[in-house]
Structure 1
Amino acid sequence: SVFLTYFEFLTLAALVIFQDHQLDLWILEIGLGGRLDAVNVIDPDVSVITSIGLDHQAYLGTSEEAIAREKAGVMRAGVTTFSAAINVRKTLDDEAVRQGGLMRWLDEVLEGSTLVLAKQIIDLTRMQLPKTSVALASLAMEELGYHITTECLVGLEQAQMLGRMSRYQIGDQTWILDVGHNPLACEFVTQALADSVETDHRVVIFGALSDKDVESMLPILQAYTSRIALVGIDGDRGRSVDSLVNLWSALFGQTCWRSFATLKDALEGLSSELKLDDQVLIMGSFVLVADALKHDLFN
């Protein structure tokens, strides 16, 4: 007599497939929050809360502390939760006590780029993936009794994810596509690119959905480069270029460098303006990066 939503049905189907294949290890992402997510029906052997930032506020709450309490829904009595979200440390510590869980923090075992586990030390310097994510995954695996082998570390050093700082060398220009769509992602990507010191010739092409915290993202991008092209995204949830341009003017008291109705228009319009050694970052939305990957430029 219980009617399932589309997402709940897909989740159940995935769990049945995992069970039928008798997998040794299940890695389940609690996509939206934690407490009310369909995937959270499974009781974990270990939990991970990577970071906490403002996103999906309509569902999770309007403060980092409120969102942290929702994310803490993945905790269980007697189960260890690992986290790097020190901005909500007290909230997560309190939730762990309330639920009878155990809380461990990444900063207790991470020394610079060196992760100190109980039985091994891992150098994160050459990791292509976010070091915090690799470190938390390593802690979770250790908690489950696994040893991180040399082969695993080599694989992690070479691993890349499509749409996560994906690089394309087109002539003398470097293009980077990233699906990041919240302030934390903007900070991570721009800092990672700035630290690489590849070039000072930076361009950002940015578009976002209407429910994202664009007001906090734009100042981060503006601090990274003044050459920012704002683009609109079609669809019911898309944010128009006019809305972005108006917000830019309200935030900075000036017009943005360039603006275009669509990403296609931006790629065509900027083709004659880009310098030979420009590093071009396209980010702000899964939809935006998906549109970019369909363009001839990246195929």
Structure 2
Amino acid sequence: MQAGAALADWLAYLEGLHPKSIDMGLARVAAVRDRLGLRPACPVLVVGGTNGKGSVCAMLSAILHAAGYRVGTYTSPHLLHYNERVMLDMQPVADALLVQAFEQIEAVRGDTSLTYFEFGTLAAVSIFQDAAVDVMVLEVGLGGRLDAVNLFDADVAAVVSIGLDHEAYLGSTREAVATEKAGIFRADRPVFCADTDPPQTLLDKAGEIGCDLRLLGRDYGFVRNGEGQQWSWWGADGTRRHALPLPALRGAYQLGNAALAIAMLDALKDRLAVPLGAIKRGLLEVEWPARCQVLPGRPVTVLDVAHNPHAAKVLRASLEQMGFHPCTHAVFGMMQDKDIAGVLDELAGLVDVWHLASPALPRAAQTSELDRLIAVRMPQALCHAYPDVAAAYRAACEQANEADRILVFGSFYTVAEVLAAREA
């Protein structure tokens, strides 16, 4: 890259740098990490899982920030701007910091090839280390064992949920997926699993590694106070947190994510003291876009990046808890390598009108295939195809009445293109 290149130029360069967008393995990126001298001195929280890990990272960061700590948060993918992936004190970092980090990596990598994600992971940790953050919150990108985030030892690690996704890389059974996700565990360190039915392979792997495994419902948990707006958290050592506010993130499942975040912080209380007031404030102020996010205005518009059956099941539960809407319009686009049929099965009967479009990516499923799969499962539903996601969204807005509901889902890219259209 030429000196003085802008962030957009760097991102275009990184996209074409490696022959594979995903190249499982740590040897290449570990060598570059060592040349950069990346050895975090602060506590590192690593969060993996099929779904929910971004929400947990957001809650951890919000609570720690409310407690007065300087927090570095790394998540992926982004919706509109790459900077969303790398947050310092809850704010996306400036282009200049990212460019500087990319330049440093390029200067030392030599002939070592790195993927887009590996380059970004090293850049994030480099920025956090230079900023002398008090704590790093790192979200696993894919799997765990061979993910670039796993280069950095977790002081506390968590697997939020275990479902099927990225089967070509992680396996076609929950047992195989669990083994990969348990790769972020470390010996003699606390690790958490919030899945209510953890596969035996995860339990076995934790025992093999020799970590301190803590399970939801056995070692920590939560109790909602009736139908009110408060809940309580408990830990196995008798610790209790009462009168907690419901998380600002929508969906009943977010209570489980909040309980996990509190449990992870409780395990680090000797190094990062977090008062009850900071927990409450963090839960009230946390933001995580496009996770059952309801936009202001009428008709109601719901954004959700659900792109696998497990996430679609959770989305359905959240939608069913919303008030009555005469008609639900869905703006829908997915990647062809995802379990489209499984996602549709989870949402069968919930959508009245489908507005189909292919996000602007080669991997996107064609609208004809989406139409075919919907027709088999929901013969009464109406389907319309559009040349792009923005056109599908505009049509949904034009056709929906004020009392109706518009659901945008199926992919990060689908949601991102709707958000971009709204900003235009």
Same fold by TM-score greater than 0.5: yes
Q: TM-score with structure 1 length normalisation? A: 0.90
Q: What residue number does 1:149 align with?
A: 276
Give the alignment partner of residue 223 of structure 2, picking from 93, 112, 120: 112
Q: Distance in 1 between matches of 2:215 and 2:166?
A: 25
How far apart are residue 258 of structure 1 and its match?
1.8
The verdict on how the C-alpha distance between 1:111 and 1:12 changes in structure 2, with shifts beyond 3 A counting, is closer
SS in 2 for 1:27: strand
Contact 1:29 1:39 in 2 (8 A): yes
Q: Does 1:27 align with 2:137?
A: yes
How far apart are residue 48 of structure 1 and its match?
0.4
Identity of aligned residues (%): 31
The verdict on how the C-alpha distance between 1:18 and 1:273 changes in structure 2, with shifts beyond 3 A counting, is closer
Q: What residue number does 2:258 align with?
A: 134
Corresponding letter in the other structure for 2:263: L
Corresponding letter in the other structure for 1:260: A
Q: What residue number does 1:165 align with?
A: 292
How far apart are residue 24 of structure 1 and its match?
1.6
Q: Distance in 2 between matches of 1:99 and 1:51?
A: 20
The verdict on how the C-alpha distance between 1:87 and 1:231 changes in structure 2, with shifts beyond 3 A counting, is farther
Give the alignment partner of residue 3 of structure 1, picking from 112, 120, 125: 112
How far apart are residue 272 of structure 1 and its match?
4.0
Equivalent residues in 2 for 1:49-68, closer than 5 Å: 49-68=159-178
How far apart are residue 203 of structure 1 and its match?
2.6
Contact 1:48 1:81 in 2 (8 A): yes
Q: What residue number does 2:389 align with?
A: 263
Q: Distance in 2 between matches of 1:127 and 1:185?
A: 19
Q: Distance in 1 between matches of 2:275 and 2:240?
A: 8
Contact 1:206 1:228 in 2 (8 A): yes
Q: Distance in 1 between matches of 2:157 and 2:402?
A: 46
SS in 2 for 1:196: coil
Give the alignment partner of residue 100 of structure 1, picking from 207, 210, 217: 210
Q: Distance in 2 between matches of 1:188 and 1:144?
A: 30
Corresponding letter in the other structure for 2:210: G
- Gap regions ≥5 residues in structure 2: 1-109, 225-231
The verdict on how the C-alpha distance between 1:271 and 1:277 changes in structure 2, with shifts beyond 3 A counting, is same
Cα deviation digits, residues 185-221 of structure 1 (max 9, x gap) = 2122221121133535433222111111111110222
Q: What residue number does 2:302 align with?
A: 176
How far apart are residue 256 of structure 1 and its match?
4.0
Q: Distance in 2 between matches of 1:107 and 1:233?
A: 40
The verdict on how the C-alpha distance between 1:154 and 1:29 changes in structure 2, with shifts beyond 3 A counting, is same
Please provide the CA RMSD for this pair.
2.2
SS in 2 for 1:291: helix
Cα deviation digits, residues 110-129 of structure 1 (max 9, x gap) = 24333213433245662123
Contact 2:396 2:406 in 1 (8 A): no
SS in 2 for 1:242: helix
Q: Does 1:215 align with 2:341?
A: yes
Q: Distance in 2 between matches of 1:14 and 1:159?
A: 21
Q: Distance in 2 between matches of 1:98 and 1:183?
A: 30
Corresponding letter in the other structure for 2:333: G
How far apart are residue 271 of structure 1 and its match?
3.8
The verdict on how the C-alpha distance between 1:102 and 1:289 changes in structure 2, with shifts beyond 3 A counting, is same
Q: What residue number does 1:240 align with?
A: 366
Contact 1:232 1:260 in 2 (8 A): no
Which ranges of 4 or more aligned residues in structure 1 deviate by more than 4 Å?
A: 122-125
Contact 1:179 1:284 in 2 (8 A): yes
Contact 2:357 2:392 in 1 (8 A): yes
How far apart are residue 160 of structure 1 and its match?
2.2
Corresponding letter in the other structure for 2:256: T
Question: How many residues are matched?
Answer: 296
How far apart are residue 69 of structure 1 and its match?
0.5
Q: Distance in 2 between matches of 1:151 and 1:196?
A: 29
